[in-house]
Amino acid sequence: MRTHLRQLWQAGLCSVAMAAVPCSATEMVYVPINPSFGGNPNNAAGLLATAQAQNGFKAPVLSPVEQFNKNLQQAILARLQGQILTSMFGGSTTVQPGTFETSGFKVTVTDLGNGTLLVSTYDKNSGGTAQFTVDTSQ
């Protein structure tokens, strides 16, 4: 019984002590850190260094032969693209519906009506496809 009274007395004493302590509160204010969102511009270098340290991506290093091969492939594809466009347009300025094939790609132009053409490209190696529409009525 004595321990209950002691605990009750201690609880009362704590309540009185806490009521005697002045309390104050202020409004919470958000201060941005990143300079892109209004933060201090001096934080930019530190944030960039932290981001770069966490970035695990490393660009592939190509040998001169691999780089040459990549550039050659892009040049051949650009010329092939020009040939396909010439055969699609012919001597006119409008795209002609039809199918155009190379060893790696199949390009199909379909007339959807009302001056709209659907251009579908199929990659024979990967099986990937891409499509876009062209409005020729203008």
Check if the beta carbon of residue 137 is closer than 8 Å to that of residue 115: yes
Question: CA 79 to CA 10: how far, in whole Å?
Answer: 91
Task: Say whether 63 sits in a helix, a strand or coil.
Answer: coil
Check if the beta carbon of residue 71 is closer than 8 Å to that of residue 84: no
Instruction: Tell me the pLDDT tens digit for each residue of 33-91.
Output: 988 898 899 999 999 999 999 998 888 888 878 887 788 778 877 877 777 777 766 66
Highest mean pLDDT among 1-5, 18-22, 91-95, 130-134: 130-134
Greatest extent of the chain over all pairs of C-alpha atoms, in Å = 109
Instruction: Tell me the pLDDT tens digit for each residue of 79-121.
Output: 777 777 777 666 665 667 888 887 888 888 888 888 788 888 8
Q: pTM for this structure?
A: 0.41
Higher pLDDT, 137 or 55: 55
Check if the beta carbon of residue 99 is closer than 8 Å to that of residue 84: no
Check if the beta carbon of residue 103 is closer than 8 Å to that of residue 111: no
**What pLDDT was estimated at residue 21?**
64
Q: Which whole number is the average pLDDT over 6-19?
A: 72
**Integer angstrom CA distances of residue 123 from 13, 32, 56, 130:** 82, 47, 31, 9
**What pLDDT was estimated at residue 111?**
87
Q: Which whole number is the average pLDDT over 6-26?
A: 73
Check if the beta carbon of residue 117 is closer than 8 Å to that of residue 88: no
Q: Which whole number is the average pLDDT over 11-36?
A: 78
Q: Which whole number is the average pLDDT over 15-25?
A: 69
Which tokens sit at 56? 């695990």
